[in-house]
């Protein structure tokens, strides 16, 4: 059994739906700088940002707030860069702290997140699951026990049944991680314990989160396990798995199946399912392109981007460090997202201008087509003293204004810490605004929230051509119900400034999918 060291390692290092979808030259903007451990805003943002019903972005830091170490905050930021601290952890006697995984927004409009045990020992404090309102009222709904999955490093997801699912990299029968389910009120059930098979053939330590397919099953990755090679983390390489609500798990792929781990190793990020049903993801190591990466492990390669069918057939699309000096970056460890132009966006940990103060672990932003053509969009630490940030973290999010937003864990400058306390940035690719439905599927008659920008004065909402009754709540939110006769397809909102289309097709369901397909 390998030691539980993935967390510090990770820390140290659908189609074009808009009328005007051709991207112009990209523009990178630093929106905010975090200013220190003792600041109410916090320091070192971790996890992905998430867009709220009010159009603002919400996120977390893993330090700062009311204490100087390992407490953390919840904040929101407007698209123009105004930051507000909503909550400082350690405000309660139980002192939950370090919300490393970031937040997700539930259909209620509130946010759910997790805290972890910074000691990694899970003595009397193994972390929590919390709910927080957009106004900052926080409620702890579950405290992890040592026999449950804990040390959650990826955001929860809300499944079609209304409950939340997540992964913990520790806990379970072998202390090598679990998949768990919790109700909105906090009743938790362990769905699956990893390392349940000999030699952890089923995987161990699921650092990335889950994604639920239309079939009802969940897909994810483990950073270890699989036992395909001795050239990876001591000596396991990671897996891709599928699991249903009943806890029946099938290992779909074991990395390092090719000589020298040319197919990749150790996927830190989760998967994204594209509009065509295919999954896309990254590995932190493997690929065989260059020996200047991977200083944190035995494998000396820079990582890959892959695509995989629902049945587990994997194709390597891109191997990083494909050019001398790695100008394309290396060691991607976040989950990809699919933009409204049909391409995928993500970041790497390696990369940046030569000779910069982050020792080449600056990071870069990239775009890759479904066919595997990669373009480096931005290299961090391009500004003096890395004022633009370095060490991107979490995953990018595309807001309904069409732009991409993300955080860096370091850089930006702060007086207390030489390496900086982190930033929030925006990447504009010239993509048009769109609308997003919450949830992305439902039965006829169910309520749906529509998120967007400049929705005031909307005159029509349709589900694949079928008109729906609706109420404009604000310039960023519409409430509607799925109309009788609606079929799956694009949601359209007609506004005085034009028609906005949904970023993914809406699915009209007949009933809840039981269990999911194994």
pLDDT tens digits for the chain (518 residues)? 333 333 333 333 333 333 333 345 689 999 999 876 656 788 889 889 999 999 999 999 988 776 656 688 999 999 999 999 999 887 665 566 788 899 999 999 999 999 886 655 666 668 899 999 999 999 999 988 877 877 899 999 999 999 999 999 988 888 889 999 999 999 999 999 999 998 889 999 999 999 999 999 999 999 998 876 655 655 578 999 999 999 999 999 999 998 888 999 999 999 999 988 999 999 999 887 665 665 444 445 789 999 999 999 999 999 998 877 788 888 998 999 999 999 999 999 888 666 666 767 789 999 999 999 999 999 999 988 889 999 999 899 999 999 999 999 998 877 666 678 899 999 999 999 999 999 999 999 999 999 999 999 999 999 999 999 999 999 999 999 999 999 999 999 999 999 999 999 999 987 554 556 56
Report whether 391 contacts 408 (CB < 8 A): yes
CA distance 427 to 29: 6
Q: Which residue in 288, 239, 235, 234 sits closest to 259, CA to CA?
A: 288
Residue 14 gets which letter from DSSP?
A: -
CB environment 264-283: b (16+ within 10 A), e (fewer): bbbbbbbbbbbeeebbbbbb
What is the pTM assigned to this prediction? 0.91
CA distance 276 to 309: 10
Question: Is CATH 1.10.10.10 correct for 436-508?
Answer: no
Q: Where are the domains of the chain?
A: 436-508
CA distances from 12 to 8, 20, 195 (A): 6, 40, 25
Structure tokens at 376: 């480096």
123: Cβ contacts below 8 Å, ≥ 6 apart: 117
């Amino acid at each position: 059994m390998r030691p539980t060291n993935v967390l510090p390692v990770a820390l140290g290092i659908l189609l074009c739906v808009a009328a005007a979808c051709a991207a112009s030259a990209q523009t990178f903007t630093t929106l905010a700088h975090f200013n220190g451990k003792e600041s109410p805003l916090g320091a070192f943002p971790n996890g992905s940002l998430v867009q709220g019903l009010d159009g603002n972005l919400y996120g977390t830091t893993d330090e700062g707030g009311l204490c100087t170490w390992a407490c953390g905050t919840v904040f929101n930021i407007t698209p123009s860069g105004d930051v507000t601290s909503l909550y400082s952890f350690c405000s309660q006697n139980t002192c939950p702290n370090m919300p490393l995984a970031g937040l997700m927004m539930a259909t209620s409009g509130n946010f759910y997140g997790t805290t972890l045990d910074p000691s990694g020992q899970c003595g009397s404090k193994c972390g929590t699951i919390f709910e927080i309102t957009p106004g900052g009222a926080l409620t702890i709904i579950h405290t992890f026990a040592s026999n449950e999955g804990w040390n959650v490093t990826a955001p929860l997801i809300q499944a079609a049944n209304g409950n939340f699912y997540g992964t913990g990299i520790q806990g379970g029968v072998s202390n090598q991680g679990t998949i768990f389910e919790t109700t909105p009120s906090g009743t938790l059930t362990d769905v699956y314990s990893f390392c349940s098979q000999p030699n952890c053939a089923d995987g161990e330590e699921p650092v990335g989160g889950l994604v639920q397919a239309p079939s009802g099953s969940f897909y994810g990755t483990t950073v270890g396990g699989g036992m395909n090679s001795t050239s990876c983390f001591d000596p396991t390489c990671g897996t891709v798995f599928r699991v249903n609500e009943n806890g029946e798990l099938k290992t779909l792929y074991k990395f390092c199946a090719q000589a020298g781990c040319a197919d990749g190793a150790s996927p830190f990020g989760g998967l994204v399912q594209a509009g065509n049903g295919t999954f896309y993801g990254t590995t932190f190591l493997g690929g065989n392109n260059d020996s200047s990466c991977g200083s944190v492990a035995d494998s000396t390669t820079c990582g890959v981007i892959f695509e995989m069918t629902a049945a587990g057939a994997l194709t390597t699309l891109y191997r990083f460090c494909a050019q001398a000096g790695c100008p394309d970056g290396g060691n991607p460890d976040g989950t990809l997202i699919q933009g409204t132009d049909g391409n995928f966006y993500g970041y790497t940990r390696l990369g940046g201008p030569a000779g910069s103060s982050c020792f080449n672990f600056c990071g870069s932003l990239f775009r890759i087509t479904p066919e595997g053509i990669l373009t480096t969009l931005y290299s961090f630490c391009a500004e003096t003293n890395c004022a633009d940030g370095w060490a991107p973290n979490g995953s990018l999010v595309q807001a309904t204004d069409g732009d991409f937003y993300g955080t860096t864990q370091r850089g930006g400058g702060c007086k207390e810490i030489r390496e900086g306390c982190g930033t929030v940035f925006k990447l504009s690719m010239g993509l048009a605004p769109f609308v997003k439905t919450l949830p992305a599927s439902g039965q006829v008659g169910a309520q749906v929230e529509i998120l967007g920008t400049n929705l005031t004065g909307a005159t029509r909402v349709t589900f694949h051509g079928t008109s729906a009754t609706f109420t404009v709540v604000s310039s960023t939110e519409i409430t509607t119900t799925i109309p009788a006769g609606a079929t799956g397809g694009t949601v359209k909102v007609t506004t005085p400034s034009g028609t906005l289309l949904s970023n993914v097709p809406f699915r009209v369901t007949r009933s809840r999918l039981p269990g999911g397909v194994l």
